[in-house]
Chains A and B, each alone.
Chain A
Amino acid sequence: MNRNELQTMAEKAKEKHKQLKHKICVCCGASCISSGSEDVLKKLQDEIKTRGLENQIEVVPSGCMGPCNQGPLVKYMPENTIYQHINCENLDRVIQSQIVENKPLEDLLLFADSREKPFVNANEDPFFKKQQKIALKDCGDINPEEIEDYWAVGGYKALDKALFLMSPEEVIAEVKQSRIRGRGGAGYPTGLKWESVYKYVSDQKYVICNGDEGDPGAFMDRSVLEGNPHRILEGMAIAGYAIGASKGFAYIRGEYPLAIKRFELAIKQATKHGLLGKNILGSNFSFEVEVRIGAGAFVCGEETALIASIEGKRGTPKPRPPFPAESGLWGKPTLINNVETYAAIAPIIVNGGEWYSATGTPKSAGTKVFALAGKINYSGLIEVPMGTTLREIVFEIGGGIQGGGEFKAAQTGGPSGGCIPESHLDVSMDYESLVNLGSIMGSGGLIVMDKSSDMVDVARYFMEFCMDESCGKCVPCRVGTKMLHDLLQKIYDGKATQIDLDRLEELAVYVKEASLCGLGGSAPNPLLSTLRHFREEYESKILKEA
Chain B
Amino acid sequence: MNKIPVIIDDKSFEVDPHKTILEVCRELDIEILTMCHLKGLTDIGACRLCLVEVEGINKLLSACTTKVAANMVIKTQTERIKKYQRITTELFFADRNHVCAVCVSNGKCELQNLGYKVELDRIRYPHLFPQCEVDTSHPWYVMDHNRCIMCTRCVRVCNEVEGAHNWDVMNRGHQVRIISDFNTPWGESSTCTSCGKCLHACPTGAIWPKAIVQGQLEKNPGMVNELVERRKMKL
Contact = CB atoms under 8 A, between A and B. Distances in A.
Interface string A284-320: 0000000000000101000000000000001000110
Nearest to B80: A513
A182 interface: no
Residue of B67, B174, B176 contacting most chain A CB atoms (<10 Å)? B174
A474 B172 contact: no
A476 interface: yes
B84 A475 contact: no
B88 A476 contact: yes
Interface string B92-136: 101100000000000000000000000000001110100000000
A471 interface: yes
Contacts of B171: 472
Given A476-B88, A478-B95, A514-B84, A297 B48 contact: no
B47 A481 contact: no
B150 A472 contact: yes
Interface in B43-101: 44-48, 51, 59-62, 65-67, 80, 83-84, 87-88, 91-92, 94-95
Contacts of A112: none
B88 A471 contact: no
A479 B46 contact: no
Interface string A492-536: 000000000001001100100111100001000000000000000
Contact of A503 (B60, B83, B124): B124
A513 B62 CA distance: 12
Given A479-B94, A507-B87, A513-B60, A474 B176 contact: no
A475 B173 contact: no
A173 interface: no
A339 to B, nearest CB: 24
B81 to A, nearest CB: 9
A180 B191 CA distance: 50
Nearest to B62: A319
A343 B80 CA distance: 42
Given A475-B92, A482-B128, A321 B66 contact: yes
B2 interface: no
Interface stretch (A99-107, A160-168, A402-410, A462-470): A462-470
B168 interface: yes
Contacts of A471: 172-173, 176
Nearest to B35: A475
Interface residues of B, number: 36
Contact of B176 (A478, A483, A507, A521): A478
Interface string A42-63: 0000000000000000000000
Nearest to B171: A472
A471 B45 CA distance: 14
B173 A473 contact: no
B92 to A, nearest CB: 6
Contacts, number: 101
B169 interface: yes
A512 to B, nearest CB: 10
Given A318-B44, A319-B65, A514 B88 contact: yes
A472 B173 contact: yes
Contacts of B150: 472-473, 478
Interface string B159-187: 00000000011011111100000000000
Nearest to B93: A479
Contacts of B84: 510, 513-514
Interface residues of A, number: 32
A510 B125 CA distance: 14
A470 B95 CA distance: 14
A321 to B, nearest CB: 7
Contact of A482 (B51, B67, B174): B174
A486 B150 CA distance: 21
Interface string A313-338: 01000110100000000000000000
A321 B169 CA distance: 24
Contact of B91 (A318, A473, A476, A516): A476
A476 B169 CA distance: 18
Contact of A319 (B45, B88, B124): B45
A492 to B, nearest CB: 16
A476 B48 contact: yes
A515 B48 contact: yes
B51 A514 contact: yes
Interface string B24-39: 0000000000000000
A473 B155 CA distance: 13
8 contacts: A319-B61, A471-B173, A472-B150, A473-B46, A473-B176, A483-B91, A483-B94, A514-B87
Interface of A: 297, 299, 314, 318-319, 321, 467-476, 478-483, 486, 503, 506-507, 510, 513-516, 521
9 shortest A-B CB distances, which residue pairs? A472-B176, A319-B45, A479-B91, A470-B173, A319-B65, A482-B174, A479-B95, A514-B48, A473-B46
Given A479-B95, A514-B84, 9 more contacts: A318-B44, A319-B62, A471-B173, A474-B47, A475-B46, A475-B91, A479-B92, A483-B94, A510-B84
Interface of B: 44-48, 51, 59-62, 65-67, 80, 83-84, 87-88, 91-92, 94-95, 124-126, 128, 150, 152, 168-169, 171-176
